[in-house]
């Protein structure tokens, strides 16, 4: 079965977010036919939407999987639910765990429930900086190196956490 390299964004701002993100890495590694190859440091960032919520803990991981994109999405949503994620339809609201497929090989996907590359990730420093950390030589789908994308991000309010893995 062919395997794809996939980058997943991980975020949490409810409960013990540091532990939740680390648990998510483990849970992702336990998905059938999937293994975690790299994980970024953890980063603290201000919320994107309503500011009356806790700061987020964010990270990115690189996995190798033989699951198709929608099969992987289903498994990631299962992990979110196991961590207490409630989908209330509130955009950018607080959440126990958010798992996003950022890049799935070189594929472009645009369906009702999945957009890859993840829409808006170029402007999100809490995605681009950890992605750059684990894949500094990555060339984005527009042909530009990730370093160029990161250079266009505002790093205001983003800080790397010092944690033991």
Residues with catalytic roles: 85, 95, 98, 100
Render the burial of 95-128: b for 16+ CB within 10 Å, e for the rest: bbbbbbbbbbeeeeeeeeeeebbbeebbebbbbb
Phi-psi label, residue 105: left if phi above 0, alpha if psi -120 to 50, beta otherwise: left
E-strand ranges in 43-83 read: 43-45, 56-65
For 115, list phi and psi in degrees, rounded to 5: -125, 120
The structure tokens listed for 115 are 């957009």
Q: How far apart are CA 75 and CA 107, in angstroms?
A: 19
CB 100 within 8 A of CB 9: yes
């Amino acid at each position: 079965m062919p395997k794809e390299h996939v980058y997943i964004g991980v975020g949490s701002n409810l409960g013990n977010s540091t532990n939740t993100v680390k648990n998510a890495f483990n849970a992702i590694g336990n998905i059938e036919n999937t293994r975690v190859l790299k994980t970024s440091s953890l980063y603290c960032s201000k919320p994107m939407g309503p500011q009356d919520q806790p700061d987020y803990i964010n990270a990115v991981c690189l996995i190798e999987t033989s699951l198709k994109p929608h099969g992987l999405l289903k498994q990631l949503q299962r992990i979110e639910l196991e961590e207490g994620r409630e989908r209330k339809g509130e955009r950018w609201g607080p959440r126990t765990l958010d798992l996003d497929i950022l890049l799935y090989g070189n594929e472009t996907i645009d369906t009702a429930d999945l957009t890859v590359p993840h829409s808006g990730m170029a402007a999100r420093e809490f995605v681009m900086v950890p992605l750059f950390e684990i894949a500094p030589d990555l060339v984005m789908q527009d042909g530009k190196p990730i370093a160029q994308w990161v250079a266009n991000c505002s790093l205001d309010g983003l800080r790397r956490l010092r944690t033991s893995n």
